[in-house]
A and B are shown apart, each in its own frame.
Chain A
Amino acid sequence: MGELGRIHQLIVPFFGYDLTFNVEAIVMTWIAIIFLLIFGMLAARKKSVIPGPLQVVGELIVGNLFQLTEDTLDKELAKKYGPLICALFLFLVACNWLGIIPFLEEPTKDINTPLALGLLGFFIAHYSGIRTKGLKTYLKHYLEPFFIMLPLNIVSELANVVSISFRLFGNIMGGAIIILVVSYLSYSLVLPPFLNAFFGLFVGTIQAFVFTMLTTVYISLQVK
């Protein structure tokens, strides 16, 4: 039980500052990226009218996500943001599913990964808001309904980043801790794989979908 919440860190001194690297999260992120690259290459290798099994899976995922983006944003914007949304979802699913493989861990278990992705979505949403509405209209939105509400409006925008990233972190971390504790308490062969399937595959997919959809929704709220 000692390893609960322990993080392997590499601390590099850099001109008087200590740079901290969470080795596990970085390595696992790269593993997830490599998995995705292999999947993408295999799915797109032999493109044909009669698709192979991997191509079908790839087309299904990308097509559905593109449709969802079109529903939330509109046709024009979906062309621009669709690739981002697809990439985000696939990356998150790969990360959340990584934990079911023995000796590998979910990079999303480290708060830095969800936080980085949440900030990415935040900046993209606000950048596209400024681009489409113009700086003046964008800033005016913060003074509604009264100008006194300015600090609270800013806090509520920032709170969105907190909630979106901690939602992912809490679910994945909670699942991992429950699996760890249950396997420590009971020497059962059935329970941990079942829990792994539930938290890793099911909850992991739902949370990846929720994260992706919320990023899309935040973009659409800023743009429209």
Chain B
Amino acid sequence: MAIEGADIVKAAACLGASISMGLGALGPGIGEGMVAAKACEAIGKNPSEAGLLTRTMLVGQAVTESTGIYSLVVALLLLFVV
């Protein structure tokens, strides 16, 4: 059995990338769902502002998603750079 150091490092990078993206997708997914949930309720209460509420929801979700994007960046760096 010749397991080399480089192989172990690469294997750990693969596992690390998967854990980073897997766990990193959990939080933003739930959070963005909550944003959209409140937006739906708000439109139910005040349908005339639907356009504004949709835009606010999208901006809020984009900000919420940023941690997911950090995970994506870290995972891609681990896979293709390290």
Quote the shortest CB–CB distance from A145 to chain B (angstroms).
Answer: 10
Q: A71-B50, A156-B62, A156-B65 are in contact. Are A221 and B55 (CB under 8 A)?
A: yes
B51's partner among A72, A152, A156, A221 (CB-CB below 8 A) is A72
B54's partner among A72, A155, A156, A159 (CB-CB below 8 A) is A72
* Pair A159/B50 contact, Cβ less than 8 Å: no
Count of chain B residues with Cβ under 8 Å from any Cβ of A?
A: 13
- By a CB distance below 8 angstroms, the chain B residues around A224 are 55
Interface string of B62-76 (1 = CB under 8 A from A): 100110011011000
* Pair A155/B73 contact, Cβ less than 8 Å: yes
The secondary-structure label for the interface of chain A is: helix
* Pair B70/A152 contact, Cβ less than 8 Å: yes
- By a CB distance below 8 angstroms, the chain A residues around B50 are 71
A159's partner among B51, B55, B59, B69 (CB-CB below 8 A) is B69
* Pair B55/A152 contact, Cβ less than 8 Å: no
Count of chain A residues with Cβ under 8 Å from any Cβ of B?
A: 10
* Pair B73/A217 contact, Cβ less than 8 Å: no
C-alpha gap A80/B69 in the complex (Å):
32
- By a CB distance below 8 angstroms, the chain B residues around A152 are 66, 69-70, 73
Specify the chain B residue showing the minimal Cβ separation from A74. B51
Asked if B40 is at the interface of the complex by the 8 Å CB criterion, the answer is no
B69's partner among A71, A155, A221 (CB-CB below 8 A) is A155
- By a CB distance below 8 angstroms, the chain B residues around A71 are 50-51
C-alpha gap A13/B29 in the complex (Å):
44
Specify the chain A residue showing the minimal Cβ separation from B73. A155
- By a CB distance below 8 angstroms, the chain A residues around B69 are 152, 155-156, 159
* Pair A221/B58 contact, Cβ less than 8 Å: yes
C-alpha gap A155/B59 in the complex (Å):
16
C-alpha gap A196/B13 in the complex (Å):
40
C-alpha gap A112/B65 in the complex (Å):
25
Quote the shortest CB–CB distance from A191 to chain B (angstroms).
Answer: 31
A220's partner among B55, B70, B72, B73 (CB-CB below 8 A) is B55
C-alpha gap A152/B55 in the complex (Å):
21
- By a CB distance below 8 angstroms, the chain A residues around B72 are 155, 159
Quote the shortest CB–CB distance from A159 to chain B (angstroms).
Answer: 6
Specify the chain B residue showing the minimal Cβ separation from A159. B69
Interface string of A115-155 (1 = CB under 8 A from B): 00000000000000000000000000000000000001001
22 contacts between A and B (CB under 8 A): A71-B50, A71-B51, A72-B51, A72-B54, A152-B66, A152-B69, A152-B70, A152-B73, A155-B69, A155-B73, A156-B62, A156-B65, A156-B66, A156-B69, A159-B69, A159-B72, A217-B54, A217-B58, A220-B55, A221-B55, A221-B58, A221-B59
